[in-house]
Amino acid sequence: MTTHHRLDALLTDIAGAPDAHTLFAATSARLRGLSSFDAAVWAATDPINGLTTAPVRVENLHEGGCGTYWEAELFGESVNRFRDLAQAPVPVVGLRAVTGGDPACSPLYRTFMRPRGFADELRAVFRVDGQSWGQLSLFRERGRADFDAADIAHVTALSAPLAHRLRSFARPSSAPMPRDTTAAPGMLLFDDAGNLVSLNDEARSLLAQMPPGPSTTTALGLALPLPVWILSTAGRARLTGGSARIRIRTGTGRWLICHASCLRAAEGGASSTALIIEPAKPSEIAGLLTAAYELTPREIEVVDLIARGLPTAEIAATLHLSAHTVRDHVKAVFDKVGVTSRGELVACLFTEFQQPVTARDTVRVVR
């Protein structure tokens, strides 16, 4: 099979993937035939800030090594950072190429790659319409050729299709939602070194609902694993001295918000980090859904006014459009979302967003 045909087959698999886990697994398997690699980390990201969320797929990295990878990326990396790559003209680059053949200037290389025998990393962001929905690290061991222009071209061709498909998975399902039994927000407290020191019972309950994925045990003996997206959110707040948040979909399909904030001592210095987990409000998920249904900016304006209860004539006056144009926009929105009335539309986008997904979100594999 030629390279062109392999790429076509890969793009077909991406477009037809039924869930994010299958998307990552199938893409990884086919990509090996185009650009071989020895280990990989595939991750979805929250488009609001690029922080890691579920699903995550880790290939040929053991738990301890994976923890080192996330710590280096969050706290130590100053070369080839994902958040910089998200804004780059081409969202794919090789470490040895970007460092002029001197990867040792990268903290990730020194603390993670070199001790594990990796010589090069190909890093990519999955981006569409200016938003990043996922990211990828591919690793090659010492003794193998560096990632080259052909490898970059192959992964670049996949960036937008992967982002497009990941974005589509934010759409709600029609299956019934289990009753929410959590009475209060979950609260976790981290010390100034990033160690979890305490949490409430609600946090334990919500953590138990998190999708499976890379995690680490607490340093101070608390008997629970912490998913990487919790650690990275708390770590971003501690690193910046501000706040950070992600949206996460649980194994039962509920949307949760994880919001971390850096606390300060009396003298003004950073002392600890608090993280709250609670059910997401409709307004916090609506942006994901409108993106998933690929609504245009004008269609989003129309939907917002529909949600406020405005009739066609008032929407037309507010947006300085004709009533006929508004009706065209409404019809286009109905077709995209798959509804037949304004009530169904508002319910789908602003009420019924907490629906179960059909598959678990993360898996760890060793080939």
Q: 219 and 321: one domain?
A: no
Closest CA to 79 of 61, 104, 49: 104
Q: Which domain holds residue 292?
A: 284-350
Comparing 69 with 177, the larger pLDDT belongs to 69
Residue 174 lies in a domain: no
Cα dihedral 356→358→360→363 (10° resolution) = -150
Using the 3D structure, point to which of 134, 168, 202 is the last residue of a domain: 168
Q: What is the DSSP string of 296-342?
A: -HHHHHHHHHHHTT--HHHHHHHHT--HHHHHHHHHHHHHHHT-SSH
pLDDT for 179 = 57
- 240-264, pLDDT tens digit by residue? 888 999 999 887 778 899 999 999 8
- Answer whether residue 177 shows pLDDT above 90: no
Both tokens of 47, joined, read 């488009």
Q: 155 and 86: one domain?
A: yes
Cα separation, 365 vs 367, in Å, equals 6
CATH number assigned to the domain comprising residue 305: 1.10.10.10
Question: Is the N-terminal amide bond of 178 cis, ω within 30° of 0?
Answer: no
Residue 361 lies in a domain: no
Q: What is the DSSP string of 124-140?
A: EEEEETTEEEEEEEEEE
pLDDT for 180 = 56
Residue 39 lies in a domain: yes
Q: Based on C-alpha coordinates, what's the Rg of the chain?
A: 22
Q: 77 and 149: one domain?
A: yes
Q: 110 and 220: one domain?
A: no
Q: 61 and 203: one domain?
A: no
pLDDT for 190 = 92
Q: Where are the alpha helices (DSSP H) in 209-294?
A: 228-240, 282-292
- 292-332, pLDDT tens digit by residue? 999 999 999 999 999 888 999 999 999 999 999 999 999 99
Structural contact between residues 27 and 34, judged by C-beta atoms closer than 8 angstroms: no
CATH number assigned to the domain comprising residue 195: 3.30.450.20
CA separation, residue 265 to residues 145, 275, 334 (Å): 51, 17, 52
Cα separation, 341 vs 328, in Å, equals 14
pLDDT for 149 = 95
Give the pLDDT mean for 16-44. Answer: 94
CA separation, residue 184 to residues 176, 201, 249, 279 (Å): 22, 9, 18, 9
Give the pLDDT mean for 40-57. Answer: 91
What is the DSSP secondary structure assignment for residue 223, as one 8-state letter?
S
Q: 154 and 8: one domain?
A: yes
Measured over the CA atoms of residue 75, residue 79, residue 85 and residue 88, the dihedral's sign is positive
Quote the mean pLDDT of the chain. Answer: 86
Closest CA to 136 of 59, 77, 221: 59
- Answer whether residue 271 shows pLDDT above 90: no
Share of the chain above pLDDT 70, in %: 88
Q: 272 and 196: one domain?
A: yes
Q: 34 and 145: one domain?
A: yes
- Answer whether residue 163 shows pLDDT above 60: yes
What is the count of structural domains for the chain?
3
Using the 3D structure, point to which of 119, 139, 168 is the last residue of a domain: 168
Residue 342 lies in a domain: yes
Residue 353 pLDDT level (bands cut at 50, 70, 90): very low
Closest CA to 125 of 195, 214, 34, 50: 50
